[in-house]
Amino acid sequence: MLYKAVNTHDSTFSYKNGHYGEFGWVSTRMDDVANYIPARLAAMIIPGGTAILQLSLLNSHRILLRDGEKHVGPNSGLTEAALAGPLAVQLGELNNYFGQPSMRPTLGDSVKELRKKDVVRANTLMLITLILATIIFLAVRFSLYW
Protein backbone atom coordinates (compact mmCIF):
# COMPACT_ATOMS: atom_id res chain seq x y z
CA MET A 1 0.00 0.00 0.00
CA LEU A 2 2.89 2.33 0.76
CA TYR A 3 4.46 1.70 -2.65
CA LYS A 4 1.15 2.39 -4.40
CA ALA A 5 0.74 5.60 -2.41
CA VAL A 6 4.24 6.77 -3.42
CA ASN A 7 3.62 5.88 -7.06
CA THR A 8 0.24 7.63 -7.16
CA HIS A 9 1.70 10.68 -5.44
CA ASP A 10 4.43 10.86 -8.10
CA SER A 11 1.90 10.48 -10.92
CA THR A 12 -0.29 13.20 -9.48
CA PHE A 13 2.19 15.87 -8.42
CA SER A 14 5.50 15.39 -10.19
CA TYR A 15 4.86 17.02 -13.53
CA LYS A 16 7.11 20.00 -14.10
CA ASN A 17 4.73 22.88 -13.77
CA GLY A 18 4.55 25.90 -11.51
CA HIS A 19 1.45 24.77 -9.65
CA TYR A 20 3.06 22.22 -7.32
CA GLY A 21 6.69 23.38 -7.46
CA GLU A 22 8.81 21.82 -4.74
CA PHE A 23 6.02 19.48 -3.66
CA GLY A 24 6.38 17.52 -6.89
CA TRP A 25 10.15 17.20 -6.43
CA VAL A 26 9.67 15.22 -3.21
CA SER A 27 7.23 12.87 -4.96
CA THR A 28 9.70 12.22 -7.75
CA ARG A 29 12.57 11.41 -5.39
CA MET A 30 10.38 9.09 -3.28
CA ASP A 31 9.32 7.24 -6.44
CA ASP A 32 12.94 6.99 -7.62
CA VAL A 33 13.96 5.40 -4.31
CA ALA A 34 10.97 3.02 -4.27
CA ASN A 35 11.71 1.81 -7.82
CA TYR A 36 15.51 1.62 -7.60
CA ILE A 37 15.77 -2.12 -6.88
CA PRO A 38 12.68 -3.24 -8.88
CA ALA A 39 13.93 -1.46 -12.03
CA ARG A 40 17.30 -3.16 -11.81
CA LEU A 41 15.77 -6.57 -11.18
CA ALA A 42 13.44 -6.14 -14.16
CA ALA A 43 16.33 -5.05 -16.38
CA MET A 44 18.17 -8.25 -15.43
CA ILE A 45 15.14 -10.48 -16.09
CA ILE A 46 14.03 -8.96 -19.44
CA PRO A 47 16.95 -10.54 -21.35
CA GLY A 48 15.80 -13.96 -20.11
CA GLY A 49 12.45 -13.32 -21.76
CA THR A 50 14.19 -12.46 -25.01
CA ALA A 51 15.71 -15.94 -25.12
CA ILE A 52 12.29 -17.56 -24.69
CA LEU A 53 10.87 -15.46 -27.55
CA GLN A 54 13.96 -16.15 -29.67
CA LEU A 55 14.96 -12.49 -29.76
CA SER A 56 18.51 -11.24 -29.34
CA LEU A 57 19.70 -11.80 -25.77
CA LEU A 58 23.07 -10.22 -26.61
CA ASN A 59 21.46 -7.13 -28.11
CA SER A 60 19.32 -6.72 -25.00
CA HIS A 61 22.44 -6.75 -22.80
CA ARG A 62 24.42 -4.53 -25.18
CA ILE A 63 21.78 -1.80 -25.38
CA LEU A 64 21.07 -2.05 -21.64
CA LEU A 65 24.73 -1.47 -20.82
CA ARG A 66 25.19 1.24 -23.45
CA ASP A 67 21.95 3.23 -23.09
CA GLY A 68 20.42 2.24 -19.76
CA GLU A 69 21.75 5.28 -17.90
CA LYS A 70 20.83 7.86 -20.58
CA HIS A 71 17.27 8.45 -19.41
CA VAL A 72 16.55 11.54 -17.30
CA GLY A 73 15.24 9.36 -14.46
CA PRO A 74 17.47 6.86 -12.69
CA ASN A 75 15.20 3.86 -13.31
CA SER A 76 13.15 3.91 -16.53
CA GLY A 77 16.05 3.93 -18.96
CA LEU A 78 17.22 0.52 -17.76
CA THR A 79 14.06 -1.36 -18.66
CA GLU A 80 13.43 0.69 -21.80
CA ALA A 81 16.95 -0.03 -23.09
CA ALA A 82 16.69 -3.73 -22.24
CA LEU A 83 13.46 -3.81 -24.25
CA ALA A 84 14.64 -1.68 -27.20
CA GLY A 85 17.65 -3.92 -27.83
CA PRO A 86 15.94 -7.20 -28.71
CA LEU A 87 13.18 -5.44 -30.64
CA ALA A 88 15.87 -3.65 -32.74
CA VAL A 89 14.08 -0.32 -32.41
CA GLN A 90 15.00 3.09 -31.12
CA LEU A 91 12.97 4.67 -28.34
CA GLY A 92 13.03 8.27 -27.19
CA GLU A 93 13.54 11.50 -29.09
CA LEU A 94 10.48 13.73 -29.32
CA ASN A 95 7.62 12.93 -26.92
CA ASN A 96 4.60 14.97 -25.91
CA TYR A 97 3.52 15.49 -22.31
CA PHE A 98 0.28 17.38 -21.83
CA GLY A 99 0.63 18.81 -25.32
CA GLN A 100 4.17 20.07 -24.68
CA PRO A 101 7.06 18.68 -26.76
CA SER A 102 9.84 17.07 -24.75
CA MET A 103 13.12 15.78 -26.19
CA ARG A 104 14.40 12.56 -24.64
CA PRO A 105 17.67 10.72 -25.22
CA THR A 106 17.50 7.86 -27.68
CA LEU A 107 17.70 4.29 -26.41
CA GLY A 108 18.48 1.46 -28.79
CA ASP A 109 19.51 1.34 -32.42
CA SER A 110 17.23 2.37 -35.25
CA VAL A 111 17.66 -0.90 -37.13
CA LYS A 112 14.05 -0.78 -38.26
CA GLU A 113 11.12 1.56 -37.99
CA LEU A 114 8.87 1.12 -34.97
CA ARG A 115 5.58 -0.54 -36.01
CA LYS A 116 2.36 -1.63 -34.34
CA LYS A 117 3.51 -5.25 -34.25
CA ASP A 118 6.48 -4.12 -32.12
CA VAL A 119 4.03 -3.00 -29.46
CA VAL A 120 2.54 -6.51 -29.43
CA ARG A 121 6.05 -8.01 -29.25
CA ALA A 122 6.96 -5.64 -26.41
CA ASN A 123 3.80 -6.58 -24.50
CA THR A 124 4.54 -10.28 -25.04
CA LEU A 125 8.10 -9.79 -23.81
CA MET A 126 6.84 -7.98 -20.73
CA LEU A 127 4.35 -10.79 -20.02
CA ILE A 128 7.12 -13.38 -20.32
CA THR A 129 9.30 -11.23 -18.05
CA LEU A 130 6.48 -11.09 -15.48
CA ILE A 131 6.13 -14.88 -15.56
CA LEU A 132 9.90 -15.36 -15.21
CA ALA A 133 10.06 -12.89 -12.33
CA THR A 134 7.20 -14.67 -10.56
CA ILE A 135 8.94 -18.04 -10.94
CA ILE A 136 12.25 -16.62 -9.70
CA PHE A 137 10.73 -14.84 -6.71
CA LEU A 138 8.63 -17.85 -5.72
CA ALA A 139 11.68 -20.10 -6.00
CA VAL A 140 13.64 -17.77 -3.73
CA ARG A 141 10.73 -17.53 -1.30
CA PHE A 142 10.24 -21.29 -1.07
CA SER A 143 13.99 -21.98 -0.89
CA LEU A 144 14.04 -20.02 2.36
CA TYR A 145 11.76 -22.63 3.92
CA TRP A 146 13.93 -25.65 3.03
Q: Kindly list the domain boundaries of the chain, sorted by start residue.
A: 2-143
Distance CA 27, CA 58 (A): 35
Q: Is the pLDDT of residue 11 over 80?
A: no
pLDDT at residue 59, rounded to an integer: 93
Query: How far, in Å, are 19, 38, 46, 84 from residue 41 at the CA level?
Result: 34, 5, 9, 17
Instruction: Enter the DSSP assignment of 72.
Output: S
Task: Determine the length of the chain.
Answer: 146
3-state secondary structure of 95: strand
Task: Give the pTM.
Answer: 0.83
pLDDT at residue 128, rounded to an integer: 96
pLDDT digits 0-9 by tens, 23-75: 677 888 888 999 999 999 999 999 999 989 999 999 999 999 999 999 888 99
Residue 77's closest CA among 137, 85, 54? 85
